[in-house]
Chains A and B, each alone.
Chain A
């Protein structure tokens, strides 16, 4: 379980390092972390240039470690593709304009708002949603900490909070409650469960350091 956040951290640093060195293609493929057919978009390796007409087109998204063929239009957001096409409804739609964080997912280890990006832009990327955090029946440490700290009321913001919490820890931004508050500022909780959310993230961060 701790392995998960460590993996996220490694993905982060390895990617940053590789793209700086301009080696993302060869090394990432060698590490087996990317599908051979469609290397990571946004890295230095190119997804082949392709034009898609306005209607539905078949493409592959890699979500939680497995490839999913999907039929999406260029205008389909990643959020809608996850929820409507893949049935992964753990990722929530709150504001649908980048302001609330309910739709937070990881793309190549970095947290983003899935309502602000198009599914077609994420071909070749490794997407992690709330459904991909647990290890079988074993909860991810951040999920476990949210349970222990009662870090939700209605639960609508929770998947986004948890995704962001894993990223805050992997980024090394969970050193104090103040720091966690600042770096979780992209996740709004209408129920105001903030004190418990901060406590849960700090707890998981401390456990991870042990």
Chain B
């Protein structure tokens, strides 16, 4: 694998700053896609910014629908999702393997992975942090 440097961040601000300041820096969340793509040479970041510890894990339902944190794990197991959004839960359960699902995040998914049809069918919107738009 091509060498790169690495920073683990604990605030959204440092995450955004590091990646905005360096065109060759990229985020890594669960790593399930990134590690493979770097290993295969399909991506060649010089710097990886590990956002796995950011406080973006929450999934909750409100009047305006379901909000899923970019780093949410196991959304399919969430009681609110199982009860109120069973198709989403089933679509997520049908993907990947239990091991991969334990690592990957919802935020890493629209970036590279396949998006379950149910996201699209339910009028999914992705909120982007200012200047965090680069993949």
Which residues of A are at the interface with B, using a C-beta cutoff of 8 A?
19, 41-44, 46-55, 73-75, 77, 96-99, 101, 104, 110-113, 115-118, 120-121, 123, 164, 167-168, 171, 173, 183, 185-187
Contacts and interface: CB of A to CB of B under 8 A. Distances in A.
- The A interface, classified by DSSP as helix, strand, loop or mixed, is loop
B61 interface: no
A98 B5 contact: no
Residue among B14, B38, B48, B55 facing the most chain A CB atoms (10 A cut-off):
B48
A166 B14 CA distance: 38
B39 A96 contact: yes
Nearest to A51: B7
A98 B32 contact: yes
B126 interface: no
Contact of B99 (A43, A54, A75, A111): A111
Contact of A51 (B6, B36, B98, B100): B6
Contacts of A41: 8, 52-53
Contacts of B6: 51-52, 74, 118, 120
A117 B103 contact: yes
Interface string B78-106: 00000000000000000011111011000
Contacts of B38: 75
A41 B100 CA distance: 18
A49 B32 contact: no
A187 B100 CA distance: 11
B8 A49 contact: yes
A73 B6 CA distance: 9
B10 A49 contact: yes
B97 A46 contact: no
Interface residues of B, number: 32
29 contacts: A41-B52, A41-B53, A47-B53, A49-B7, A49-B9, A74-B5, A74-B6, A75-B2, A98-B36, A98-B100, A101-B99, A112-B99, A112-B103, A113-B97, A113-B100, A115-B35, A116-B30, A116-B35, A117-B30, A117-B31, A117-B35, A118-B35, A120-B8, A164-B98, A164-B99, A171-B98, A183-B98, A186-B96, A186-B100
B99 A51 contact: no
A111 B4 contact: no
Nearest to B55: A44
Interface string B48-65: 101011010100000000
A92 B5 CA distance: 27
B36 A97 contact: yes
B3 A73 contact: yes
Residue among A42, A123, A173 facing the most chain B CB atoms (10 A cut-off):
A42
Please give me the 5 A-B residue pairs with the lowest Cβ-Cβ distance, nearest first. A186-B97, A74-B6, A54-B3, A46-B10, A51-B7
B1 interface: yes
